[in-house]
Amino acid sequence: MKKNNWFKKELFFHALLLPAAVIVIIFKYIPYLGITMAFERYDPLKGLFDQQWIGFENYRYLFSLPGFKSVIWNTIFIAVMKLIGNLIFPVIIALLINEILHPLYKKTVQTVLYLPHFISWAALAGIFIDILSPTGGLVNKLITSLGGNPVFFLGDPKVFPYTLAVTDIWKELGWGTIVYLSAITAINPEYYEAAKMDGANRFQQILHVTIPGILPMILLMMVLSVGNVLQAGFEQVFNLYSPQVYSTGDIIDTYVYRIGLVQARFDLATAVGLFKSVISFVLIVLGYKIADKFTGYKVF
Amino acid sequence: MKTRILKGVAAATIAASLVGCGQSAGNTPASSPGAGTSSGAAGREDAYTVTYMHKTNGDEKFLGNDSFNDNVWTRYYRDSLGITLDYKVAAAGDDYDQKMSMAIASNSLPDIMDLSPSQFQDLAAAGKLADLSQVYEDNASDLLKQTIEVDGGVQLASGKIDGKLYGIPQLAAADGTGDLLWIRTDWLKALNLEAPTTMDELLDVAKAFRFNDPDGDGAEDTWGIGFQKDIVTESGASPGSFDGFFAAYGAYPRAWIKDDSGKISYSGIMPGAKQALAQLSQMYKDGLIDPEFGVKDATKLGEDIASGKVGMFYGNEGIPWGATKSCVENDPNADWQCYPIVSATDKPAKPATYVRISRYFAVNANCKHPEALIKIANAFQDKINSLDSTEETLNTFGVDPKTGVNFAAVAAFGMDPAIQKCNTYYAEIKATLDGETTVDKIHPEAARYYKAIKQFIDNGMNGHDDPVGWNYYKFIGPEGSWNTIINDYKANDKLVSSVFFGAPTPTMKSNLSSLDKLEAETYVNTIMGTSDPSAFDGFVDQWKQLGGDQITTEVNNWYNTTFADLSK
């Protein structure tokens, strides 16, 4: 009897929730049917349900492709470098920006840092080819004027992955600070006042108030980004790489793109997508458990 | 509770990465039928409507309120042919490809459609396309047949499967485009050099351009010869093509060449390619080639050409439109001239030509009026390509003289015999310049070029003051690229055609991207000295093992079946 009452009381709220639930089901769950394409010899001329089921054949094929393993390694190497860089540097920059007192100067710095985020890699690639040129590029002019040897950032397979990481971190630096800056404003000013009373200088305030204050946000960003460990950035690599750096710069996405270029292989693309999703899923769970265990911090 | 939500989030992440291919589902026709389309056709008894999915260039322009569904051409089809052409989709590039893929996947094909070679082959094999053999015989005008079969029916044959015609190929330039050697003549003069006729002479010129300061600014800031990064490509990476250089050794990085015995083999693994790479590697070592060529695409190389850093490169006949024109615009002293490519052996160097069929026009098997495709295609020939067409027709259906809006670009199934046209115009312009005929007797379009060229010659041939005149003169004038192609390449039977232009074969689909990667890496590393030229032999073995041999067999089979009728 009591149970029935409870249901009646909340029925209205469930009804409010219904449209959202329906949308999620239609756009997030029904497309799950498409996962089956990863296990089929997919022929677009036939319907979704008349395909030839081939099990893990697409995966067997992918991993039998010559050089696919080195491609996976490249992907992880580049992505992990970016993950770490994109985690550490925005925090440092956010802390520095937060210390700027002059409001106009602060806004200008922020805006200038945000700008690269909005430039597409297609345009940036042309700029970087010029700036990083071993003959007459700005960066190499600086290196040679300091007595070093010019570095072929985009053409030397040993250097190329680091070039990718650095340019990506530079591009996303300002954008990454937004979330930390907002977390910093959420810190209760009383903490700073208390710290000042105790005689903490600015550096000690950062160390003992600001950083602990935004730690939950840093951890959240870390957990969320761990899932991107196979996302090395198609647009960037595609615009910057060339055959001479294939050995270290070719990633899963560019490799599959080149296969897809010969013919639209929906099945292979889905297989790769699913492969990446499963690994991301595992890593997110692991990352979350680790964050939970060491800091006691829970997102859910 | 905790874990349940976590699962939900993770599941959403998976879904998010999978919806990629479903996103194109929300496609709406790029243009809806125009308001005024129904008036004229209604009166005719035999009037009918056909739907059409069209891949555009993306840069089409219209007058006033005109659109794809309502313009000078569609009104003409409706009023004169009684056919209302209803563009269901008119989109460019990947956007169109996605919409076509969706239409195939959802089995909602229009009556007439533009198909990529592989889509065409799949649909024809699946029985989704109408057999056009009879329709083409009965309806195609003589002019249309003449235009389409200008190459002896080779390209049309690729639209046939088991002897039945399922699609009309959009004609590609068959044998009129090849690499030329473009050189800055002002640099040649400054250094007292002649244009090279052999590979050794080319090396001398390259060295002089690199080290003897051709631009006279006192700095070694010029390259001997310019290349761009794409070696293994047949998409005409120009300027900076490698094809012309490899041709000196009788090889081509990306061509399928038929030998005297009739067998087709891949030229990229031939011994000539090894020699070409060894030579390039030596040139790289000697500092003649920009060490950054590997990261510079044709556009980037074009910037170097325009800014006077490069004085020699291989490129096709269209070069006067691009970087070289910017170069003469920038530098009052600069001038460029094309020369036939040079040979490194005692045999003449032969440039390769490629047939690149971008699309097939095909008709749905369920369409009641397959003849509409041919009838509409006839219209373009009558209005634009006919020798009878007057300046007035050209102004109405071709290019609007006031606004420059190109109506011809929005005509459906426009078959342009570009090569034939250039040949005719070149001959007419030359005859007029030589005083053998007068400007009012030649084709109006040729007359337009003639006037620009004549003005350029009369004003002292200064490209800096008259870049447009320079452009036409260097293309179709007496010393233009077309002159070299006709009077050197074609007259001496020097053009070699790459014979494969079908849809990718099964092994190409699965293995070609790995083979291309292997080839591109081997080539670039050899040139840059990171691997020894002898590594080429290992590459050839690997190429053959990784499916190259199988692809060669498939290419031979394709050739023999496709052209079985022609050789009879």
- Nearest chain A residue to B104 by CA: give it: A45
Residue B237 clears pLDDT 80, i.e. is over it? no
**Does residue B17 sit within a domain?**
no
Distance of alpha carbon B513 from alpha carbon B131, whole angstroms: 33
Residue B381 clears pLDDT 90, i.e. is over it? no
**Secondary structure (DSSP) of chain A:** -HHHHHHHHHHHHHHHHHHHHHHHIIIIIGGGGGGGGGGEE--TTS-TTSPEE-TTHHHHHHHHSTTHHHHHHHHHHHHHHHHHHHHHHHHHHHHHHHH---HHHHHHHHHHHHGGGGS-HHHHHHHHHHHT-TTT-HHHHHHHHTT-----TTT-TTTHHHHHHHHHHHHHHHHHHHHHHHHHHTS-HHHHHHHHHTT--HHHHIIIIIHHHHHHHHHHHHHHHHTTTT---HHHHHHH--GGGHHHH--HHHHHHHHHHHS--HHHHHHHHHHHHHHHHHHHHHHHHHHHHHH-----
Residues of B with Cβ-Cβ distance to A70 under 8 angstroms? none
- pLDDT band of residue B315 (cuts 50, 70, 90) is very high
Q: Which of B10, B517, B520 sits opposite A281 (nearest CB)?
A: B10
Q: Percent of chain B beyond pLDDT 90?
A: 47
More confident of the two residues B479 and B394? B479
Distance of alpha carbon A115 from alpha carbon B478, whole angstroms: 51
Q: Mark yes or no for CB contact B14/A281 under 8 Å.
A: yes
Residue B152 clears pLDDT 60, i.e. is over it? yes
Say if residue B448 is in the same domain as residue B346: no
Q: Mark yes or no for CB contact A32/B18 under 8 Å.
A: yes
Pick the last residue of a domain from B444, B460, B490.
B490
**Secondary structure (DSSP) of B135-197:** HHHHH--HHHHHHHTTTSSHHHHTTEETTEE-EEEPP---SS---EEEEEHHHHHHTT-PPP-
| B22-54 pLDDT, tens digit each | 333 333 333 334 333 444 444 567 789 999 999
- Spell out the residues 6+ positions from residue B427 whose beta carbon is closer than 8 angstroms to its own: none
Please compute Rg for chain A using Cα positions: 25
Q: Mark yes or no for CB contact A273/B19 under 8 Å.
A: no
Say if residue B194 is in the same domain as residue B325: yes
- Stretch (H or E) spanning B88: strand B83-92
Say if residue B156 is in the same domain as residue B76: yes
Say if residue B57 is in the same domain as residue B84: yes
Residues of A with Cβ-Cβ distance to B5 under 8 angstroms? 300
3-state secondary structure of B498: strand
Task: Tell me if chain B has a CB within 8 Å of the CB of A19.
Answer: no
Domain count, chain B: 3
**ipTM score over 0.85, yes or no:** no
Tell me the shortest Cα–Cα distance from A262 to chain B, in angstroms: 6
pTM above 0.90, yes or no: no
**Does residue B1 sit within a domain?**
no
How confident is the model over B454-458, as a mean pLDDT?
93
- Nearest chain A residue to B526 by CA: give it: A244
Say if residue B530 is in the same domain as residue B402: no
Say if residue B120 is in the same domain as residue B215: no
Tell me the shortest Cα–Cα distance from B234 to chain A, in angstroms: 13
Match 């249309």 to its residue by tokens.
Answer: B144
Tell me the shortest Cα–Cα distance from A263 to chain B, in angstroms: 6
- Stretch (H or E) spanning B113: strand B112-115
Pick the last residue of a domain from B374, B393, B410.
B410
Average pLDDT score over chain A: 87
From residue B199, give the alpha-carbon distance in Å to each of B245, B340, B343, B477, B491: 9, 12, 6, 27, 22
Interface test with B, best of A23, A25, A28 (most B CBs within 10 A): A28
| Domains along the sequence of chain A with CATH | 1-55 (no CATH), 65-295 (1.10.3720.10)
Q: What is the CATH number of the domain that holds B135?
A: 3.40.190.10
Residues in A 214-243 with any Cβ partner in B closer than 8 A: 227, 240, 242-243
**Does residue B499 sit within a domain?**
no
Say if residue B516 is in the same domain as residue B427: no
Residues of A with Cβ-Cβ distance to B3 under 8 angstroms? 300
Say if residue B197 is in the same domain as residue B234: yes
Say if residue B190 is in the same domain as residue B215: yes
Residue B7 clears pLDDT 60, i.e. is over it? no
| A59-117 pLDDT, tens digit each | 988 888 777 888 999 999 999 999 999 999 999 999 999 988 888 999 999 999 999 99
**Does residue B104 sit within a domain?**
yes
How confident is the model over B345-367, as a mean pLDDT?
90
**Does residue B14 sit within a domain?**
no
* β-sheet bridge partners, residue B226: B313
Distance of alpha carbon B442 from alpha carbon B428, whole angstroms: 6
Residues of A with Cβ-Cβ distance to B13 under 8 angstroms? 227, 277, 280-281, 284
Q: Mark yes or no for CB contact A47/B528 under 8 Å.
A: no
Distance of alpha carbon B305 from alpha carbon B549, whole angstroms: 40
- Stretch (H or E) spanning B541: helix B535-543
| B184-205 pLDDT, tens digit each | 999 999 999 999 999 999 999 9
Measured distance between the N- and C-terminal CA atoms of chain A, rounded to whole angstroms: 32
Residues of B with Cβ-Cβ distance to A28 under 8 angstroms? 11-12, 15-16
Q: What φ, ψ does residue B88 adopt, rounded to 5°?
A: -75, -40
Assess contact for A173 and A165: CB atoms under 8 A.
no
Domain that holds residue B440: 418-490
Task: Tell me if chain B has a CB within 8 Å of the CB of A284.
Answer: yes
Tell me the shortest Cα–Cα distance from A67 to chain B, in angstroms: 8
Task: Tell me if chain B has a CB within 8 Å of the CB of A279.
Answer: no
Q: Which of B11, B512, B546 sits opposite A66 (nearest CB)?
A: B546
Q: Mark yes or no for CB contact A67/B514 under 8 Å.
A: yes
Assess contact for B338 and B474: CB atoms under 8 A.
yes
- Weakest mean pLDDT among A11-25, A209-223, B543-557: A209-223
| A124-154 pLDDT, tens digit each | 998 998 899 887 789 999 999 998 888 889 9
Distance of alpha carbon A223 from alpha carbon A280, whole angstroms: 11
Task: Tell me if chain B has a CB within 8 Å of the CB of A16.
Answer: no
Q: Mark yes or no for CB contact B295/A129 under 8 Å.
A: yes
Say if residue B306 is in the same domain as residue B163: no
Say if residue B38 is in the same domain as residue B82: yes
Pick the last residue of a domain from B490, B524, B542.
B490
Q: What is the largest CA-CA distance in chain B?
A: 93
Say if residue B396 is in the same domain as residue B276: no
CB atoms within 10 A of CB A5: 9
Task: Tell me if chain B has a CB within 8 Å of the CB of A150.
Answer: no
**Does residue B257 sit within a domain?**
yes
| B59-116 pLDDT, tens digit each | 778 888 888 899 889 999 999 999 999 999 998 887 888 888 888 878 889 999 999 8
Q: Mark yes or no for CB contact B15/A28 under 8 Å.
A: yes
Assess contact for B451 and B468: CB atoms under 8 A.
no
